[in-house]
């Protein structure tokens, strides 16, 4: 347990009166990213006199909430670069709840308090019970089926928030804003879709109220926050002089772009490094495709090649070149950003990936691929298909995911697939032979690939070709071969231009 009175002098502690904080925000999903990102930003504001405090909620795991309570709702964030460490104690949390331990009604009641103006969440893409290919509510999701029948005892995130909106409305309280901080394009629109569509199944009048009075600001969040390991906890304990089971580590880089659309006020996050804008979508697409897309590309290929961390991938010149080429040549052309140097952005991303102090595991990034592929790789693939341009690296990344979900690495060792569609993936793998049959079986998951991609003969052929290469020569050799081919084409093209 974190012992504040034993901390070394160089550990920054809260320099504000925590008793003056008010619970104005409820955050669902007290995971590592939120602790190192939104909560940190709000903590910096508290130092400037803000009284916006958090009620933190975990719906499933209670261990983290119990640990947080045991150390007076305090924890540490350590920013790590290759040559520096900076640790601070976060004190902006006012209360913490566990959905199962404290009861869902306690969580609904917390969101129903008069001071609460914002409900935010980091629950990963799968928490929205949506169809990734369309962004609509998945009415067949078991939790949604339950919540339609039992609106006052919700199991899903949309159902939970909807129950709080219903209770606040009945009590005559001001509406709150609902802010997603998860990696989805137009995450505010997705959140609005699932909550309004669920309300339409329950109460049309409530759905109309939401559309008129509740706002759903979109956000773009960016910071690499690797999962803590036993070794990381041990090293941090030695530094702190006591254990902090709630601690997180992160890279120094921080970005938070927020649509300024709050119905009942907000903290002045812009005074702590956030950007408030009218339209988040260009920033979201830039980050999702260039950063998250290249991260997934490296995660699947790197894991198959035996790279434990992203920084290990960067030690291979071909992997590094492939990641940058994916960003610049295949993702950047699909973007609608203006006034941003995407070449420079790509260089900064590569530098961040090379930070060996950040142990960001390829296996961690590879989780929940069915929820991530549409916005990270498939949207860009469709752009190239419409425009008739090459996108070999995008196709290789998708083929690597297909090879990865086979659940056996290149040494023949099985590993666990962590994905909300794990059962469907397992059936696809079990009922198809390696090669084109496997590719077609996985493309048949319409909630991921839609109706169009499985029907595209060129896509099926190219994916099959890359899939076979991965099987026959392995991920590393496949990347090396593709990058050598790309360099040769570039050289020939340059020679032809000179000749002309």
- Domain assignment of residue 389, yes or no: yes
- Do 269 and 234 belong to one domain? yes
pLDDT on residue 490:
63
Q: Are the C-beta atoms of residues 358 and 249 closer than 8 Å to each other?
A: yes
The reported pLDDT for the residue numbered 185 is 82
Does the structure show a pLDDT above 60 at 412?
Answer: yes
Residues 34 and 152 both lie in one domain: yes
Residue 499 included in any domain: no
Residues in the chain: 500
Q: What are 162-191's pLDDT values in tens digits?
A: 999 999 999 999 999 999 999 888 899 999
Are 44 and 131 in a shared domain? yes
What local confidence, expressed as pLDDT, does residue 494 receive?
Answer: 46
330/435 same-domain check: yes
User: Whose CA is closest to 350, among 375, 377, 327, 373?
Assistant: 327
Distance CA 373, CA 445 (A): 12
Q: pLDDT tier at 161 (50, 70, 90 boundaries)?
A: very high
Is the CB of residue 268 less than 8 Å from the CB of residue 41? no
248 and 267 within one domain: yes
Asked, for residue 64, whether it belongs to a domain, the answer is yes
Range of the structural domain that residue 458 is part of: 281-494
Q: Average pLDDT in the 404-432 region? A: 95
Mean pLDDT of 468-494: 84
Residue 3 lies in a domain: no
pLDDT for 42: 98
d(CA 419, CA 441) in angstroms, rounded, equals: 17
Q: How many CB atoms lie within 10 A of CB 354?
A: 15
Q: What is the pLDDT of residue 318?
A: 95
pLDDT of residue 162: 98
Cβ neighbourhood burial of 142 (10 Å; 0-12, 13-18, 19+): exposed
State the Cα–Cα distance between residues 22 and 114, nearest whole angstrom.
11
Residue 424 Cα distances to 35, 297, 369, 445, angstroms = 33, 22, 13, 8
Based on the fold, state whether residues 261 and 181 are members of the same structural domain.
Answer: yes
Mean pLDDT value across residues 457-464? 97
**Distance between CA atoms of residues 110 and 500, nearest Å:** 71
Does pLDDT of 492 surpass 60?
no
Of 227-231, 331-335, 420-424, 460-464, the range with the lowest mean pLDDT is: 227-231
Q: What is the pLDDT of residue 498?
A: 42
Per-residue pLDDT tens for 377-400? 999 999 999 999 999 999 999 999
How confident is the model over 428-446, as a mean pLDDT? 96
In DSSP terms, which residues pair with 53 in a beta bridge? 23
Kindly state whether residues 190 and 320 are assigned to the same domain: no
| 310 found inside a domain | yes
Distance CA 442, CA 433 (A): 11
Considering the domain architecture, whether residues 245 and 307 belong to the same structural domain is answered as no
Whichever domain contains 161, its CATH number is 3.40.50.720
DSSP state string for 236-283: HHHHHSS--TT-EEE-S--EEEEE---TT----GGGGT-EEES--HHH
Do 256 and 340 lie in one domain? The reply is: no
CATH assignment of the domain containing 399: 1.10.1040.10
Mean pLDDT, residues 268-276:
96
Q: Categorize the per-residue pLDDT at 6 as very low, low, confident or very high, splitting at 50, 70 and 90.
A: confident
Question: Which sign, positive or negative, has the C-alpha torsion 402, 186, 294, 394?
Answer: positive
pLDDT digits (tens, 9 = 90+) for 191-229: 999 999 999 999 999 999 999 999 999 999 999 998 899
Provide the whole-model pTM. Answer: 0.82
- Output the pLDDT for position 133: 76
Calculate the CA dihedral of residues 138, 141, 144, 149 and round it to 10 degrees: 120
CA gap 411, 264 in Å, rounded: 55
Confidence at residue 488, expressed as pLDDT on a 0 to 100 scale: 64
Q: Whole-angstrom Cα distance, residue 321 to residue 481?
A: 12
| Torsional sign, CA 372, 375, 377, 382 | positive
Q: What is the CA radius of gyration of the chain?
A: 23
Residue 149 has pLDDT above 80, yes or no: yes
Sign of the Cα pseudo-torsion (49, 51, 52, 57, in order): positive
> Is residue 6 situated within a structural domain?
no
Q: Is residue 500 part of a domain?
A: no
**HSE value, Cβ hemisphere, 13 Å, CA-based, for 301:** 33
Q: For the chain, what percent of residues have pLDDT higher than 90?
A: 89
User: Do 34 and 159 sit in the same domain of this protein?
Assistant: yes
Rounded Cα distance between 110 and 378, Å, is 39
Decide if pLDDT at 116 tops 60: yes
For the chain, the domain total comes to 2
Q: Taking residues 462-466, report their average pLDDT.
A: 97
Mean pLDDT for the chain overall = 94
Q: Residue 186 is encoded by which pair of tokens? A: 């137009």
pLDDT at 435 over 90: yes
The stretches of 431-456 forming alpha helices (DSSP H) are: 436-443, 446-449
Helices assigned H by DSSP within 37-128: 38-47, 63-70, 99-102, 104-111
Structure tokens at 99: 């959905």
Q: What is the mean pLDDT of residues 370-375?
A: 93
Last residue of a domain, one of 247, 277, 307: 277
| Residue of 421, 439, 484 whose CA lies nearest to 129 | 421
* Residue 132 or residue 297, greater confidence: 297
Question: Do 266 and 346 belong to one domain?
Answer: no
Q: 329 and 393: one domain?
A: yes
Q: Please report the pLDDT score of residue 499 as a whole number.
A: 45
Domain assignment present for residue 251? The answer is yes
Which of 255, 277, 299 terminates a domain? The answer is 277
Tell the residue number behind the tokens 């935010």, with chain if given. 120
Tens of pLDDT, residue by residue over 46-84, are 999 999 999 999 998 899 999 999 999 999 999 998 777
CB 243 within 8 A of CB 2: yes
Which of the listed residues 219, 248, 277 is the one where a domain comes to its end?
A: 277
Confidence at 491, pLDDT banded by 50, 70, 90: low
């Amino acid at each position: 347990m974190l012992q504040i009175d034993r901390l070394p002098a160089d550990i920054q502690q809260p320099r504000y009166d925590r008793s003056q904080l008010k619970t104005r925000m409820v955050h669902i999903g007290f995971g590592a990213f939120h602790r190192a990102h939104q909560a940190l930003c709000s903590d910096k504001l508290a130092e400037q006199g803000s009284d916006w405090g958090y009620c933190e909620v975990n719906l499933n795991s209670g261990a983290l909430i119990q640990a947080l309570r045991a150390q007076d709702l305090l924890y540490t964030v350590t920013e790590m670069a290759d040559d520096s460490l900076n640790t601070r104690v976060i004190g902006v949390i006012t209360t913490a709840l566990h959905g199962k331990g404290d009861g869902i009604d306690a969580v609904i009641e917390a969101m129903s308090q008069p001071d609460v103006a914002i409900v935010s969440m980091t629950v990963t893409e799968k928490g929205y019970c949506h169809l990734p290919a369309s962004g609509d509510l998945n009415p067949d999701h078991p939790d949604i089926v339950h919540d339609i029948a039992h609106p006052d005892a919700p199991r899903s995130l949309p159902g939970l928030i909807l129950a709080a909106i219903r209770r606040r409305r009945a009590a005559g309280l001001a509406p709150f804003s609902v802010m997603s901080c998860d990696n989805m394009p137009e995450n505010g629109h997705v959140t609005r879709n699932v909550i309004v569509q669920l309300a339409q199944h329950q109460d049309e009048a409530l759905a109309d109220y939401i559309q008129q009075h509740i706002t759903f600001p979109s956000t773009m969040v960016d910071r690499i926050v690797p999962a803590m390991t036993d070794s990381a906890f041990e090293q941090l304990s030695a530094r702190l002089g006591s254990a902090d089971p709630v601690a997180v580590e992160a890279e120094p880089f921080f970005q938070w772009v927020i649509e300024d659309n709050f119905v009942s006020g907000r903290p002045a996050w812009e005074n702590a490094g956030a950007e408030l804008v009218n339209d988040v979508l260009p920033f979201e697409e830039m980050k999702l495709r260039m950063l998250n897309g290249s991260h997934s590309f490296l995660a699947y290929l790197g894991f198959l090649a035996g790279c434990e961390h992203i920084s290990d991938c960067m030690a291979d010149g071909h992997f590094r070149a492939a990641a940058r080429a994916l960003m610049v040549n295949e993702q950047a052309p699909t973007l609608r950003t203006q006034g941003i140097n995407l070449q420079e952005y790509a260089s900064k991303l590569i530098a961040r990936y090379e930070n060996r102090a950040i142990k960001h595991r390829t296996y961690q990034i590879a989780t929940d691929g069915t929820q991530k592929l549409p916005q990270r790789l498939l949207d860009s693939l469709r752009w190239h298909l419409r425009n008739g341009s090459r996108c070999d690296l995008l196709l290789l990344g998708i083929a690597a995911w297909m090879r990865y979900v086979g659940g056996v690495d290149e040494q023949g060792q099985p590993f666990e697939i962590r994905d909300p569609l794990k059962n469907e993936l397992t059936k696809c793998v079990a009922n198809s032979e390696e090669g084109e049959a496997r590719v077609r079986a996985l493309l048949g998951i319409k909630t991921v690939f839609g109706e169009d991609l499985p029907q595209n003969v060129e896509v099926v052929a190219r994916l099959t070709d890359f899939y076979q290469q991965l099987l026959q020569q392995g991920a590393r050799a496949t990347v090396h071969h593709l990058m050598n081919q790309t360099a040769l084409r570039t050289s020939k093209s340059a020679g032809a231009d000179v000749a002309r």
